[in-house]
């Protein structure tokens, strides 16, 4: 196999407070800072004003896998990898500092040769974006691409995705893709695939193994189960959240159990729940698109809140509230000069007359219960819905987008927000949810 | 001891879908719903339209502890319990449905007799409010009351507090009370103290034991360690968060370890970290109050965000951003008609010229790093601060309030926001924080 190389420069940086950092210099447009990639895989930036000296240690070559041809094997399932961007299928070019995607089927299999022995891999670039930039238009594009792959008869789809908003997309697709006949597994990575500590390979391979070995149909996320590079979890598309900014096991099921555990090295996929939907060739997918110009906000309560923070939403189509505890906002009359809390209550009342206003909790885990305290009952009287829901703010947000896009009657939207449609609201009693 | 009783009515409710619920009827002003307290301690509301029948099972008496006199014992430490409201020191009166506080020293010791054998208990009502209604004025009031108790020479203070925003208050007091010579332990309860499953007693008793048995000085939270009614944790005032809406072990240390574990039944208080500040009679407390009319917002990014969501903050004094992942907002140019992401970036730039705009992450756990991706560097160029911080949004919010209240120079406020002043920003490397 012919090898490709990229050139990089090694250096040691000594700081004025006598620390030393050794690594690969990363080109950057920031003039006051030098960035280096440490052996641990992390990039750090050091202010030039704090640097005593930079010792260049010479150039090194970094190997890139070569693109090879991948042959179709009729005995294996066929998996489409749809690429949207993010760390999972990207590499850093150390001669330019740019991150570039590796997305052709050949390149992905060259990068992850084991994938080719588990399945026939198709691959397509949908977009190459940071996931935090996603808008409803992108969800529609992804849903249509998935539909088109399913029409081709693939056995499963892997959607590579930036991790920042992967749980929003998984929830959106769970509502948008009804009667999904195959698995759609979202895969991200917390560290790019050219780092020694990258989770990209194991997440991708585990998703492919799960698709190849099981009868699961539906939308799920496949990411690391823990800090070790052994197990991945298949997490429910509607009840998962990124809970750490950098760890490989950042994704956690919220008020739910993981669907399955996958050990790629042992070639095991073990279900942890037993009520998943199954693959069904006869099922006809229905795609429900989103209205791309919908305006839906998320606003959280906090001490010393001001009513003006809610006024911004007066011309929106819907609003998700993130209350404290069981779902509270500062709405009680208290002995203070401003009377701000009463203004907040009247602002919520105004908004709830115009649009669905749905309560979630900023505790992340647990269920909303706005019957327990008078502050919660006041919110209900003001028109706030969401009592007894255990949806995350993220899932409630995309559910509201989905319902507002597909139902004209606002009262019907409110009724459906409070109902469990596809597993987004679990039936357990308060206090018995899965937790940390 | 003379006993006091409250009268309540037992009933069994049968629903149209053939479920039966037995419990104590709770008087309520809601006309379409009947509320009952189940044996488990939970209140549930059942719509009258869904009820087949209500069978009354007769009246029962509920015992209330009688107020008795508590004598000062010179051999024991003296603890002041300052009461601000919340579930911890309240009871439900089943004849009226009202929640009422038990806050005189006599009443608290009558309710929790074991407290009296560990310490001399003073008790004072500061307020009786839902913690979600707290404003900066209340933090000032609490800080002054604590100062006044310290002047009296007490050995420790327990602050009873609603759990919704207890972690905001603990963080605020950690900044406001400098050179605190004694322990100030915030205690809440997830279930009121007249429920069998209440956590109020153990949390209060464990806080008292911790104060009596150790040399800890500073602000901390004492709540259940797990679902069992055995261990409590002493959690760092600056690095703790309510992570479940209803469980007794809802409070978790974030990017930090708990300070200590307390087992009241075994009378053990064991430190889990070894760098706490110690009691010091010579230290002089300095109280830094907050400007009560400060306007500080918290705004989180989400897919399909609109720039108008940021415009509301243009006349604020400061803003906390809750970005995705390492600290990102949707600010990249993407192929879309609205160009909304560019508008968001220019809105952030405008705000950052007027006020400190500080980034945190909505993953809760982990550290902000806005050097890794270009989207983060754009935010830094726009003037956003907070790189490398691992403060929660809550701690960042009260820290900004504290700094804006006590420093006139805006650049100085920004510099101090990025620095670790009192343990609010930990020194660990990204990815190695304590986690779920």
- Is residue A45 a part of any domain in this protein? yes
Segment A118-143, tens digit of pLDDT: 889 888 888 888 899 999 999 999 99
Q: Is the four-CA dihedral B146, B147, B153, B155 of positive or negative sign?
A: positive
pLDDT per residue as tens digits for the range A294-305: 999 999 999 999
DSSP tag of B326: T
Nearest neighbour of A326 by CB, restricted to B245, B326, B328: B245
Looking at the predicted structure, is the pLDDT value of residue A197 above 90? Answer: no
Q: Once rounded to an integer, what is the mean pLDDT over residues B89-98?
A: 62
Contact B44 A371 (CB under 8 A): yes
Average the pLDDT over each of A3-7, A89-93, A177-181 and give the range with the smallest value. Answer: A3-7
Question: Nearest CA to A237 among A163, A140, A171, A146?
Answer: A171
Q: Residues B313, B283: one domain? A: no
A68 labelled catalytic: no
Q: Report if residue A355 sits inside a domain.
A: yes
Residue A94 — pLDDT band, cuts 50, 70, 90?
low
CB of B121 closer than 8 Å to CB of B154: no
Quick one: pLDDT at residue B7?
73
Same domain, A18 and A53: yes
Question: Looking at A64, A89, A110, which one is the last position of a domain?
Answer: A64
CA distance A246 to A189: 10
pLDDT digits (tens, 9 = 90+) for A308-345: 999 999 999 999 999 999 999 999 887 666 789 999 99
What pLDDT, in 10s, does the model give residues A54-77?
A: 998 888 876 655 544 567 888 899
Mean pLDDT along residues A356-370: 96
The whole-number pLDDT of residue A433 equals 46
CATH number for the domain spanning A36: value is 2.30.30.520
Whether A427 is in a domain gets the answer: no
CA nearest to A359, candidates A373, A340, A380: A380
Predicted confidence (pLDDT) at residue A113 exceeds the cutoff of 80: no
Q: Specify the higher pLDDT residue, B70 or B90.
A: B90
Q: Which residues contact A148 (CB under 8 A, 6 or more apart)?
A: none
Tokens of B227: 């679902």
Please state the rounded mean pLDDT for residues A356-365.
98
Would residue A242 show up in a list of annotated catalytic residues for this protein? Answer: yes
- Interchain CB distance below 8 Å, A304 and B329: no
- B211 and B334, same structural domain? no
> How do beta strands A4-15 and A51-64 pair?
antiparallel
pLDDT of residue A240: 98
Q: Among A33, A68, A164, A363, which one carries the catalytic annotation?
A: A164
- Supply the pLDDT for residue B308: 95
**3-state secondary structure (DSSP) of residue B159:** strand
Statement to judge: residues A314 and A270 lie in one domain: no
Q: Which residues in chain A (215-254) have CB-CB distances under 8 A to chain B?
A: 242-247, 249-250, 252
Residues A9 and A38 in one domain: yes
Q: Which residue of B has its CA nearest to A345?
A: B133
> A165, A197, A325: which to substitute to probe chain B, counting the most B Cβ within 10 Å?
A325
Q: Is A408 exposed, middle or buried (0-12, 13-18, 19+ CB in 10 A)?
A: exposed
The answer to whether A306 faces chain B, any CB pair under 8 Å, is yes
Q: Is the residue at B98 inside a domain?
A: yes
A436 contact partners, CB below 8 Å, separation of at least 6: A365, B243, B244, B252, B436
Residue A70 in domain: no
Q: Determine contact, residues B17/B7, Cβ cutoff 8 Å.
A: no
CA atoms within 13 A of residue A326's CA, in its CB half-sphere: 27
Radius of gyration of chain B, Cα coordinates, nearest whole angstrom: 24
The dihedrals phi and psi of A271, each to the nearest 5 degrees, come to -70, 140
More confident residue, A101 or A387: A387
Mutate to test the interface with B, among A127, A133, A326, A370 (most CBs of B within 10 A): A133
B9 is written with which tokens?
Answer: 């009515």
Q: Out of A37-51, B90-104, B339-353, B406-420, which region has the weakest mean confidence (pLDDT)?
A: B90-104
What is the token pair recorded at A182? 């195959």
Structural domain ending residue among the three candidates B287, B322, B350? B287
pLDDT reading at A167 higher than 80: yes
Do residues B162 and B275 both lie within one domain? yes
The answer to whether residue B435 neighbours chain A at the CB level (below 8 Å) is yes
Confidence of residue A425 (pLDDT cuts 50, 70, 90): very high
Whether residue B16 lies inside any domain: the answer is yes
B125, exposed or middle or buried, with CB in 10 Å at 0-12, 13-18, 19+? Answer: middle
Optimal mutation site among B35, B255, B431, B433, interface A, most CBs of chain A within 10 A: B431
Of these ranges, A334-348, B288-302, B326-340, B369-383, the one predicted with the greatest mean pLDDT is B288-302
Rounded to the nearest angstrom, the gap between the alpha carbon of residue A427 and the centroid of all alpha carbons in its chain is: 24
Cβ-defined contact of B330 to A35 (cutoff 8 Å): no
Q: Do B132 and A301 touch (CB under 8 A)?
A: yes
Which residues 9-48 in chain A show a CB within 8 A of chain B?
30, 33, 35, 40, 42-45
| A16 and A133 belong to one structural domain | no
Q: Is A196 on the interface with B (CB under 8 A)?
A: no
One domain for residues B97 and B241: yes
pLDDT higher than 60, residue A96? no
| Token pair listed for A46 | 């050091």
**Quick one: DSSP state of residue B67?**
P
Q: Which of A287, A315, A338 is the last residue of a domain?
A: A287
Q: How many domains does chain A have?
A: 3
What is the CATH number for A345?
Answer: 3.40.50.40
> How many other CB atoms are found less than 10 A from the CB of residue A50?
14
Of B144, B164, B229, B349, catalytic: B164
Are residues B213 and B83 part of one domain? yes
* Domain annotation covers residue B433: no
Closest residue, chain B, to A87 (C-alpha): B373
| Residues A116 and A223 placed together within one structural domain of the fold | yes
Facing A312 at nearest CB: one of B250, B308, B324: B308
Rounded mean pLDDT, B173-179: 98
User: What is d(CA A253, CA A233) in angstroms, rounded to the nearest whole number?
Assistant: 9
Which residues numbered 126-155 in A keep a CB inside 8 Å of some CB on B?
A: 129-137, 139
Q: What are phi and psi of A379, to 5 degrees?
A: -65, -40
Q: Quote the CA–CA distance of A409 and A356 in Å, as a whole number.
A: 11
Which tokens sit at B354?
């007027």
Question: Domain residues for A347?
Answer: 296-417
A50 touches chain B (CB under 8 A): no
User: Is position A425 within any domain?
Assistant: no
Question: Is the model's pTM score more than 0.90?
Answer: no
Average pLDDT, chain A: 88
Residue range A156-164: average pLDDT?
Answer: 95
- Written in H, E and C, the secondary structure of chain A is CCCEEEEEEEEEEEECCCCEEEEEEECCCCCCEEEEEECCCCEEEEEHHHEEEEEEEEEEEEEECCCCCCCCCCCCCEEEEEECCCHHHEEECCCCCCEEECCCHHHHHHHCHHHHHHCEEEEEECCCCCHHHCCHHHHHHHHHHHHHHHHCCCCEEEEECCCCCHHHHHHHHHHHEECCCCEEEEECCCCCCCCCCCCHHHHHHHHHHHHHHCCECEEEEEEECCCCCCEEEEEECCCEEECECCCCCCEEECCCCCCEEEECCCCEEEECCCCCCECCCCCCCEECCCCCCCCEEEEECCCCCCCHHHHCCCCCCEEEEEEECCCECCCCCCCCCCCHHHHHHHHHHHHHHHCCEEEEECCCECCCCCCCCHHHHHHHHCCCECCCCCCCHHHHHHHHHHHHHHCCCHHHHHHHHCCCCCCCCCCCCCCCCCCC
Give me the residues of B, 157-186, that contact A with CB < 8 A. 162-165, 168-169
Taking CA atoms, what residue in B is nearest to A344?
B133
A198 vs A389: CA distance, rounded Å: 36
CATH number for A85: 3.40.50.1170
Residues of A in contact with B258 (CB under 8 A): none
Is A164 assigned a catalytic role?
yes
Kindly identify which residue of chain A lies nearest to residue B394, measuring between CA atoms. A302
Selected for mutation to probe chain B from A39, A431, A432 (highest B CB count within 10 Å) is: A431
- Asked if A101 and A27 sit in the same domain, the reply is no
Question: A235 and A210 in one domain?
Answer: yes
């Amino acid at each position: 196999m012919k090898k490709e190389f990229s050139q990089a420069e090694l250096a040691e940086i000594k700081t004025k407070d006598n620390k030393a950092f050794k690594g690969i210099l990363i080109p950057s447009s920031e003039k006051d800072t030098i960035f280096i990639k440490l052996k641990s895989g992390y990039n750090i930036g050091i202010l030039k004003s704090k640097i005593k000296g930079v010792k260049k240690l010479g150039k090194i070559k970094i190997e890139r896998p070569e693109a090879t041809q991948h042959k179709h094997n009729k005995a294996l399932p066929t998996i489409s990898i749809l690429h949207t961007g993010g760390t999972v299928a990207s590499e850093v070019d150390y001669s330019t500092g740019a991150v570039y995607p590796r997305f052709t089927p050949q390149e992905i299999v060259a990068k992850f040769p084991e994938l080719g022995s588990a399945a026939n891999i198709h691959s397509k670039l949908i977009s190459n974006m940071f996931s935090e930039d996603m808008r409803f238009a992108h969800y529609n594009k992804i849903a249509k691409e998935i539909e088109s792959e399913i029409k081709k008869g693939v056995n499963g789809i892997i959607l590579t995705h930036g991790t920042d908003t992967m749980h929003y997309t998984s929830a959106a697709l769970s509502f948008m893709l009804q009667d999904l006949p195959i698995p759609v597994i979202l895969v991200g990575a917390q560290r790019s695939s050219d780092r020694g500590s990258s989770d990209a390979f194991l997440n991708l391979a585990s998703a492919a193994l799960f698709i190849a070995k099981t009868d699961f149909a539906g939308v799920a996320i496949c990411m690391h189960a823990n800090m070790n590079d052994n197990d991945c979890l298949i997490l429910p598309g509607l009840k998962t959240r990124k809970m750490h900014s950098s760890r490989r096991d950042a994704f956690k099921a919220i008020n739910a159990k993981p669907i399955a555990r996958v050990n790629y090295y042992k070639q095991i996929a073990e279900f942890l729940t037993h009520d998943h939907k199954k693959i069904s060739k006869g099922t006809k997918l229905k795609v429900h698109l989103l209205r791309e110009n919908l305006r839906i906000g998320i606003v959280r309560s906090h001490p010393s809140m001001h009513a003006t923070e809610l006024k911004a939403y007066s011309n929106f189509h819907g609003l998700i509230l993130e209350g404290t505890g069981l779902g509270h906002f500062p709405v009680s009359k208290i002995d203070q000069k401003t009377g701000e809390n009463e203004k907040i209550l009247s602002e919520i009342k105004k908004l709830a007359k115009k649009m669905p206003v749905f309560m979630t909790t900023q505790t992340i885990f647990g269920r909303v219960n706005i019957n327990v305290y008078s502050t919660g009952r006041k919110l209900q009287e003001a028109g706030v819905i969401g009592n007894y829901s255990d949806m995350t703010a993220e899932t409630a947000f995309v559910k509201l987008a989905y319902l507002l896009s597909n139902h004209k009657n606002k009262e019907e939207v409110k009724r459906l927000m409070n109902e469990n449609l596809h597993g987004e609201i679990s039936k357990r009693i308060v206090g018995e949810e899965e937790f940390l």
